């Protein structure tokens, strides 16, 4: 299994690789597309500490550390909304251990 989790979108010529700065996109998916994406993401989390989230237009390769933060937010009322956020922290290379 590869380390690429792809969101369905319209096709374009070449992907831009996002490795620095700020990037945010919202993608509207059907129930079936959302389930497939979450299954692929779950498989990658279970397999390794690296993954790539992408569309045909962009990709974000990411190495992460544990723990993974999961936040659940519910707003009730006129238009109820449930938000589930999964937050990965970048893996630290090398650590602070040294011999002098």
Q: How far apart are CA 9 and CA 70, in angstroms?
A: 25
Judge residue 83's burial from the number of C-beta atoms within 10 Å of its C-beta, 0-12 exposed, 13-18 middle, 19 or more buried: exposed
Q: Is the pLDDT score of 8 beyond 60?
A: no
How do the domains of the chain map onto residue ranges?
4-90
16 near 64, Cβ under 8 Å?
no
Tell how many helices (H) and how many strands (E) occur in the chain: 1, 5
Q: Is the pLDDT score of 52 beyond 80?
A: yes
39 near 1, Cβ under 8 Å?
no
Summarize pLDDT for 65-79 with one digit per residue, the tens. Answer: 999 999 999 999 999
């Amino acid at each position: 299994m590869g380390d690429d989790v792809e969101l369905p979108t319209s096709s374009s010529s070449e992907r831009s690789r996002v490795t620095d700065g700020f990037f945010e996109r919202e993608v509207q998916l059907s129930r079936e597309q959302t389930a497939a994406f979450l299954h692929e993401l779950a498989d990658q989390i279970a397999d390794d500490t690296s993954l790539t989230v992408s569309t045909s237009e962009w990709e974000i390769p990411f190495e992460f550390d544990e723990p993974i933060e999961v936040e659940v937010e519910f707003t009730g009322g006129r238009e109820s909304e449930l938000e589930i956020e999964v937050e990965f922290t970048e893996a630290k290379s090398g650590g602070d251990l040294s011999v002098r």
